[in-house]
Structures are given as structure tokens and as C-alpha cells.
């Protein structure tokens, strides 16, 4: 068997590195015991500030913040003839927001993934939740070190119970050494000794113990409290030794200089084992309960130490049934009482040691490593996630269609532009652009669901459009929350998008009163059509006019306008087109898909084959760019894509994915080519995780869509444009389904199920 493990490794100084090293050693020993051939290569994570000289087990390394290196590492794994990939997961060791860069790597590997989760959060942020959900989906097994972690993974992250397995945090085999000799070696004779070890940070709660000691030393003046460990490297980079210095000042203020010893070293495992064997009491005074795994506590249990601790999750489990003493967070008084009581009763210290010593036998790497090896033997023949996913075995379920976030953003005036996270941002007010999108979306929704509550929203959005129209038929765009118009005239793009929404309402009139109002606003705007020059305004106005003419086919004036608009559009295409650049401008920016989309609408009315030819040629050109990978990677707004230059990867916006869904849907309806149907599905999958970072932009908790895919992760704000883009794409996807075309429905289900990983 060959295993590739991704994580930290010595000489990097941290708990994950020590864990990976000990697991590596244990697996080799256990494999030799059962006389099986076992090979384990390490892919080490390098922090951005340092590169290490690794020993032989490390065959490959990744710079934490270099996104491209994760993709190269996936290729390395796929070419290494490995049977299993083992991921040591801790948010802080991977790059991007909350470590999101690990997702594209695990998405691309062709071997079964097993993940050890060192941290499981009860209250994750958006990125943390999505990352754990995705890792859970990709993994054939998820290993945790506490029962509470299992509960969290099931309830919060929806990871199936049959994927989760619990192993204790492994610890070395503590050899029996004469305690007297050790105390003499470390100059601890005639002292009662407390110990806390691990990388120093503010969550350690050292202050709680110091305040407790100020009481205890009155009765036990020979007491010594050792704080063993370096400052955490992240803390050191950000604030230096500020925290350690504040503790030293506290020691001075409490007059504890003779009772507290800070040892500023990352000690060897042998030295650590000796300290744990020499002390009287081990203490972990963490400040909050959200500590699902503690390697330091596991070491203390494995050493058979007498332990007192605050009741964080892992401590409550390991110290249950009388294996330790607990005091509440920040409760120095109770801490002092427990320490004093134990020091007054040495037999109780010994009783605690006996209990933890017996329990700690289960933590020895000799046993834990054997369990890992047995698990790897079981899963080595399993297929990785993307192969085992079989749509014939399980019916596809898309996210539930919900307007919750639309209602959250909408008041009696209209839909608000922006949000802070999912909270409406009143400071930014309203815009015509988003209210036109909202009118289009809610009309599509009503056509599909016939939900009469949608009529009320339609009335609000149409009323906003009417209010923003000027006497000459043009529109203004921005309205602040105090209901003051803050611009004199909207852009052409906003004008065209408004005509699109009005034309759609005219075509599919849900209520005659809404139809009549939309018709009046539309006709009032018509005199401004001849002034249009913007290519996107041409496109959206063509689409709106096309919808209008599907309802009122004999309006000869509108047919003439449509022809004139289409000729302008085609002229822009012809003057910019070259053999290598088949587009309407010399740059690709936002909402690109609506440009070819408009020509499909024009072709439906005008029937000119040249229109269809340009529509298809521009679609195919755009397709080559945005599907240069096996997933949608639309043009990023950080530089766009200028002719002859590089295409920007980030930030990718929901509006672009939506436009592509609509473009491919229309191309499919007009040409009946299944290629376009598949591309439509692929474009929608961008919203729910099939993208550059393998992370969903749709938030199933809020029912909103995040504002963009950035290099570091997602922009978690959920404004109107993004959520409306998601809903318009969703509605296009489900309206494209035809229940009578079983083959098409099956292909659609298969593609989304296999490639989104969305449950």
C-alpha cells in the first residue's frame, strides 16, 4: 500500500507536524509487525514566511499561499501510484480564506481521500462551513478524536454517520522512569510542580492560573508553575511577544517570580515526556469550550498525569468518570481550591494518576497506529468521490427554490442594492438596475410556480420603475433610503435592462393591470431607443423588444426598431471580429452572455440566417474562453480580458454565470443542440461549487448568493444583483427541463450530481 499524507511535518514546530511525524513512525512499525509492505510519502505545507529543510519522508511541499501549487500537488498525487490520500485538516495551515485553497486539490485527486479533522467548529463562518462540508463530501472516511465532533459533523455539516470514525489522539509510549531522577535533572527537588505546555496564545488562559496561584502559594510557597512552549508563530508575526510579556508583568505584579517559570522552547518529544513524568499536576486552563481536540491534553492522559482543566469539549470527554478535576472558565477561585486540595492530599493526586494511566493505554501510538493501518486497508480499494457518485443509485436534489433573501432585501419601496453578509445595507439604498432584475426574476418565478404572493412583489418593483422614469421616457437609477433620487440619468445599460424586464412582463402578463402599467412605461421609453450606442444596452433592448413582439406581433414600428438595433449589434461585431477574436468589442467584461443571447431573440423574430450565424459564432468564441478548464471560469473583473492580453481569473461575478446560463439555454432552444444544454448545466454549477475554488456561492442557510468568487475565497456579502442572478439562472435551469424527454432529464441529473457534490 502507498499512502500520501498532506499536512505539516518537522522541522516545522507545531502540533500537526508532531502528529504527522508520530503517525508516520507508528504506521511503519505496525506495518512491519504484520509483515505488510507499506509506503508513506508526505506533502508538507510551508508557511509563507519560511521554507524548511525536510527529512526524507517529505517528497513534495506546497507554499501555503500559492494557489497554483495546490493544483500541481493534485497532479503529483495522481501520478504517484498512491492508493490513498490522507489529509491532516486544520484551517490555519492552508491558504485562502479559512484554508479554501485545499478544496481544488482534493477535488482533483483520483484516489480515495481520508481526512483527519483536528478542528470542528460549532459556529463556523461561511467559508469554514463550506470547506468542512466539501471535505466531508469528498472523503470516504472522516476521522475525529472526540464524540462531540461526530455530533457537530452530522448536525451542522450534514456529513453522514457512516463516513465518520473516532480514533484517540495518539501519544508516545511513556517509559517508566525514576521520578526522583527526573526532578533532580530539571531542578525540581523539594517543589510541587504544575505544568502547562504548548504553543502560547491568549486562548491558553494562563492568567486564570496565575491569579489562582496568588492564593495557593500562601499555603504552599514552594509551588512552581511551569509554562513550557514558544509563542505561536502566527501570534509572534502579528504582535511579537506582547502576550508573553503581559504574563511576565502579571507575575511581577502578583509577586510570583519565585513560583512561575516560563520555558520559551519547542522541546523534543523526549524532553516533553520527561517533564510530564516529573510533575505533580498538569493543567489546561483554556478560555472557552470550543476545543474539539487537544493534543497537549492527550499527551498528559497518555503520561498518566493528574490533570485539572477547564471544561472544554475534549476535556469533558477525556476527564469524565473521575479521571480529572474541572473548574469553570476564568474561575481562578475554583482553580485555586482544586490545586490546594490536591496538594493537601497527595493520595488523591496518585488516584488521579492511576485512572488516567489506565485510560491512557488506549492512546498509545502502538494501538492507534494499528487502527489507522486497518482503516487504510479497508478503504484502499474504494473508489474516490467523483467515480463512486452514481446518479442511478440516488435521485438528484437541487437546492430548494426559495425567495427568503429576496423578501429580506425588499421593502415597500423596492429591493435594496446591497447587504453586509446577508443583512440589508440601508445606507446604499436602491437602484433601478436591481429592481428591473427583480421584476424579471419574480415574473419568471410566477410563471413557474403561480405563487400569488409574487404578484405583490411585481407591483413593488414595477412601481419603482415607474417612479424612476422621467418625462422624456428615460430613467434615473439611484434612490437613497430617504427616498431621494441621487442621479440625473441612468446609464444605457440600466435603460436596456429595464426594457428587458418590461418586455418580459408584457409578453407573459400575469395580471392585466400590471400588463397595462408595463405597456405604458415601455411606450414612454421608446423614443430613447434611437440614442442607444452601448453594446450591452443594444443587447438588453433587443431582448426586451423581442419579448414585446412575441405578444404584439403586428407592431411594425417595434419590428423596425428591432431590426435597426440588431443591425447596430451586428455592425459592432463585424468591425471587431478577426479570425482569432469573434466578439462585439475588443474586450470581454461583465454580463457577456447577453450579447449573443440577444441575437438569438432577434433571429426568432426576424429569421435572418446571418443573425443566427453571428450568434452561434460568438457563443462558440465565448465558450472557448470561459470553459478553458473543465468547469466555468468566467472573465474576472480584476482586469477583464482585453484583446491580445491575459484573461483575468478573479473576481468572478454571479451576473456572468447567470448570463451564460441564459445564453446557453436560448441557444439550446433555438438550435436543439445538446452541447448547449450541457453547457447551460455546467454554467449553473458554478453557483454551487463547480468553480475555480470548488466552493459554493449559494448560501443554503440564508437562501442568498454571495457577491463574487475572489482569489482568497468568496465575497460573503449577499447583495441583490448576486441573489437575483442565482435565481434567474435557477429558474432557467428548471424551466429548461421537459418531463417528457427522459434522456435529457437523466443527462441533466447525472451531470449536476456527479460534478457539484451538492446534497
- Grid cell 488521579 is found at 352
Distance CA 281, CA 297 (A): 12
Rg, Å, the chain Cα set: 32
Beta strands in 68-137 (DSSP E): 84-89, 113-117
The torsion angles phi and psi of 74, rounded to 5 degrees, stand at -60, -40
Q: How far is CA 624 from the centre of its chain?
A: 27
**Cβ–Cβ < 8 Å for 565, 507:** no
Burial class (CB in 10 A: 0-12, 13-18, 19+), 321: exposed
Which is nearest to 411 in space by CA: 470, 457, 449?
457
pLDDT of residue 386: 56
d(CA 224, CA 338): 16
Place of cell 468591425: 575
Reading the block at residue 51, the C-alpha cell is: 521554507
Backbone torsion region of residue 450, taken as left when φ is above 0, otherwise alpha when ψ lies between -120 and 50, otherwise beta: left
Listed in sequence order, the residues at least 6 apart from 742 whose beta carbon sits closer than 8 Å to its beta carbon are: none
Residues 275 and 225: their CA atoms lie apart, in Å, by: 12
Whole-number pLDDT of residue 387 = 47
CA distances from 242 to 14, 206, 207, 223, 230 (A): 20, 14, 14, 26, 13
Residue where the block lists cell 470542528: 120
- Say whether pTM exceeds 0.75: yes
Contact 385, 163 (CB under 8 A): no
Residue 4 per-residue DSSP state: E
Q: Determine phi and psi for 366, rounding to 5 degrees.
A: -60, -40
Distance CA 353, CA 504 (A): 76
Q: Which of 294, 267, 109 is nearest to 310 (CA)?
A: 294
Say if residues 584 and 577 touch (Cβ distance below 8 Å): no
Give dist(CA 340, CA 718) in Å, integer: 54
- 644, 657, 646: which is closest to 728 by C-alpha? 657
Residue 622 pLDDT: 97
What is d(CA 753, CA 139) in angstroms, rounded to the nearest whole number? 16
C-alpha cell at 154: 452530522
- Beta-carbon contacts of 66 under 8 Å, excluding residues fewer than 6 positions away, are 95
CA 558 – CA 196 distance, rounded (Å): 80
Distance CA 412, CA 459 (A): 10
With beta carbons less than 8 A apart as the criterion, state whether 449 and 403 touch: no
**3-state SS, one letter per residue, for 344-372:** HCHHHHHHHHHHHHHHHHHHEHHHHHHHH
Beta bridge partner(s), residue 28: none
**Interatomic CA distance for residues 5 and 86, integer angstroms:** 5
What gap in Å lies between CA 21 and CA 1, rounded to an integer?
Answer: 18
Name residues of the chain where pLDDT drops below 50.
387-395, 738-759
CA-CA distance, 300 to 304, in Å (whole number)? 6
The chain-wide mean pLDDT, for the chain, equals 91
Residues 324-352 pLDDT 10s:
999 999 999 999 999 999 999 999 999 99
Q: Work out whether the CA dihedral 43, 44, 45, 48 comes out positive or negative.
A: negative
Three-class HEC string of 214-248: HHHCCCCCCEEEEEECCECHHHHHHHCCHHHHHHH
Those residues whose C-beta lies under 8 Å from the C-beta of residue 675, and which sit 6 or more positions away, are: none
pLDDT of residue 182: 85
- Please calculate the CA angle 726-728-732 and round it to the nearest 5 degrees: 115
DSSP 118-161: S---SS--HHHHHHHHHHHHHEEEEEESSHHHHHHHHHTT---G
The residues facing 43 across adjacent strands are: 6, 60
Which residue is listed with cell 475565497? 713
The three grid cell numbers given for residue 512, joined into one nine-digit string:
392585466
Question: What's the first-to-final CA gap in the chain, in angstroms?
Answer: 32
Three cell numbers at 474? 428615460
The C-alpha cell at 516 is 397595462
Give CA angle at 23 (17, 25), nearest 5°.
105
Residues in Cβ contact with 731 at an 8 Å cutoff, skipping those fewer than 6 apart: 401, 441, 444, 445, 448
Bridge partner list, 29:
none
187 backbone dihedrals φ, ψ, rounded to 5°: 60, 45
User: H/E element holding 657?
Assistant: helix 654-671
Q: Is the dihedral of CA 731, 430, 590, 719 positive or negative?
A: negative
Phi-psi region of 189 (alpha: psi -120 to 50; beta: other; left: phi over 0): beta
The answer to whether the CB of 119 falls within 8 A of the CB of 135 is no
d(CA 755, CA 131): 16
* DSSP, res 481: T
Helix (H) or strand (E) segment spanning residue 61? strand 58-63
Amino acid at each position: 500500500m502507498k499512502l500520501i499524507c498532506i499536512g505539516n511535518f518537522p522541522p516545522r514546530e507545531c502540533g500537526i507536524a508532531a502528529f504527522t511525524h508520530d503517525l508516520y513512525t507508528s504506521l511503519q512499525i505496525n506495518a512491519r509487525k504484520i509483515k505488510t509492505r507499506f509506503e508513506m510519502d508526505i506533502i508538507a505545507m510551508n508557511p509563507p514566511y519560511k521554507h524548511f529543510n525536510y527529512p526524507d519522508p517529505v517528497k513534495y511541499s506546497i507554499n501555503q499561499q500559492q494557489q497554483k501549487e495546490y493544483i500541481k500537488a493534485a497532479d503529483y498525487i495522481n501520478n504517484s501510484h498512491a492508493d490513498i490520500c490522507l489529509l491532516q485538516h486544520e484551517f490555519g495551515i492552508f491558504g485562502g480564506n479559512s484554508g479554501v485553497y485545499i478544496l481544488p486539490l482534493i477535488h482533483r485527486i483520483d484516489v480515495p481521500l481520508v481526512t483527519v479533522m483536528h478542528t470542528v467548529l460549532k459556529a463556523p463562518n461561511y467559508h469554514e462551513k463550506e470547506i468542512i462540508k466539501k471535505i466531508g463530501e469528498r472523503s470516504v472516511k472522516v476521522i475525529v478524536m472526540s464524540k462531540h465532533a461526530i455530533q457537530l459533523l452530522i448536525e451542522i455539516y450534514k456529513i453522514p454517520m457512516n463516513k465518520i470514525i473516532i480514533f484517540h489522539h495518539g501519544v508516545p509510549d511513556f517509559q517508566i522512569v525514576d521520578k526522583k531522577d527526573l526532578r533532580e535533572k530539571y531542578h525540581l527537588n523539594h517543589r510541587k510542580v504544575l505544568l502547562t505546555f504548548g504553543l502560547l496564545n491568549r486562548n491558553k488562559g494562563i492568567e486564570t492560573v496565575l491569579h489562582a496561584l496568588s492564593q495557593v502559594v500562601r499555603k504552599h510557597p514552594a509551588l512552581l508553575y511551569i509554562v513550557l512552549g514558544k509563542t505561536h508563530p502566527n501570534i509572534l508575526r502579528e504582535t511579537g511577544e506582547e502576550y508573553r510579556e503581559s504574563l511576565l508583568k502579571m507575575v511581577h505584579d502578583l509577586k510570583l517570580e519565585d513560583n512561575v517559570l516560563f520555558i520559551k522552547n519547542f522541546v523534543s518529544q523526549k524532553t516533553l515526556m520527561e517533564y510530564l513524568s516529573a510533575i505533580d499536576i498538569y493543567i489546561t486552563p483554556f478560555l472557552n469550550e470550543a476545543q474539539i481536540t487537544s493534543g497537549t491534553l492527550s499527551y498528559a492522559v497518555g503520561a498518566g498525569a493528574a490533570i485539572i482543566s477547564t471544561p472544554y469539549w475534549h476535556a469533558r470527554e477525556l476527564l469524565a468518570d473521575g479521571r480529572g478535576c474541572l473548574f469553570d472558565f476564568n474561575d481562578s477561585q475554583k482553580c485555586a481550591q482544586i490545586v490546594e486540595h490536591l496538594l493537601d492530599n497527595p493520595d488523591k493526586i496518585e488516584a488521579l494518576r492511576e485512572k488516567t494511566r489506565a485510560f491512557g493505554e488506549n492512546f498509545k501510538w502502538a494501538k492507534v497506529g494499528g487502527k489507522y493501518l486497518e482503516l487504510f486497508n479497508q478503504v484502499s480499494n474504494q473508489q474516490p468521490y467523483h467515480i463512486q457518485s452514481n446518479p442511478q443509485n440516488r435521485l438528484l436534489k437541487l437546492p430548494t427554490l426559495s425567495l427568503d433573501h429576496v423578501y429580506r432585501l425588499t421593502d415597500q419601496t423596492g429591493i435594496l442594492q446591497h447587504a453586509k453578509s446577508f443583512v440589508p445595507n440601508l445606507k446604499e439604498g436602491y437602484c433601478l438596475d436591481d429592481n428591473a432584475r427583480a421584476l424579471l426574476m419574480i415574473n419568471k418565478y410566477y410563471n413557474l410556480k403561480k405563487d400569488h404572493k409574487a404578484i405583490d412583489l411585481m407591483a413593488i418593483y414595477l412601481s419603482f420603475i415607474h417612479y424612476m422614469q422621467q418625462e422624456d421616457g428615460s430613467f434615473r437609477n439611484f434612490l437613497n433610503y430617504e427616498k431621494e433620487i441621487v442621479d440625473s440619468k441612468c446609464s444605457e445599460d440600466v435603460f436596456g435592462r429595464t426594457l428587458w424586464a418590461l418586455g418580459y412582463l408584457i409578453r407573459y402578463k400575469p395580471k392585466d393591470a400590471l400588463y397595462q402599467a408595463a405597456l405604458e412605461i415601455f411606450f414612454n421609453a421608446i423614443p430613447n431607443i434611437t440614442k442607444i450606442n452601448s453594446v450591452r444596452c443594444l443587447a438588453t433592448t433587443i431582448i426586451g423588444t423581442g419579448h414585446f413582439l412575441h405578444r404584439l406581433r403586428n407592431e411594425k414600428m417595434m419590428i423596425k426598431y428591432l431590426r435597426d438595433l440588431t443591425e447596430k449589434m451586428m455592425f459592432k461585431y463585424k468591425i471587431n471580429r478577426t479570425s482569432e477574436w469573434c466578439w462585439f468589442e475588443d474586450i470581454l467584461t461583465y454580463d457577456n452572455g447577453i450579447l449573443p443571447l440577444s441575437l438569438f431573440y432577434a433571429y426568432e423574430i426576424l429569421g435572418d440566417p446571418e443573425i443566427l450565424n453571428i450568434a452561434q459564432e460568438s457563443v462558440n468564441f465565448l465558450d472557448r474562453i470561459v470553459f478553458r478548464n473543465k468547469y466555468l471560469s468566467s472573465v474576472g473583473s480584476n482586469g477583464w480580458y482585453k484583446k491580445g492580453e491575459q484573461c483575468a481569473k478573479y473576481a468572478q461575478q454571479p451576473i456572468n454565470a447567470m448570463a451564460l446560463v441564459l445564453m446557453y439555454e436560448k441557444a439550446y432552444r433555438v438550435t436543439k443542440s445538446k452541447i448547449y444544454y450541457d453547457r447551460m448545466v455546467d454554467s449553473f454549477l458554478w453557483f454551487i461549487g463547480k468553480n475555480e475554488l470548488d466552493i459554493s456561492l449559494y448560501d443554503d442557510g440564508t437562501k442568498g448568493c454571495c457577491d463574487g468568487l475572489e482569489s482568497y475565497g468568496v465575497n460573503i456579502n449577499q447583495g441583490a444583483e448576486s441573489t437575483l442572478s442565482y435565481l434567474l439562472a435557477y429558474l432557467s435551469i428548471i424551466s429548461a427541463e421537459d418531463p417528457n424527454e427522459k434522456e435529457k432529464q437523466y443527462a441533466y441529473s447525472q451531470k449536476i450530481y456527479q460534478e457539484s457534490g451538492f446534497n
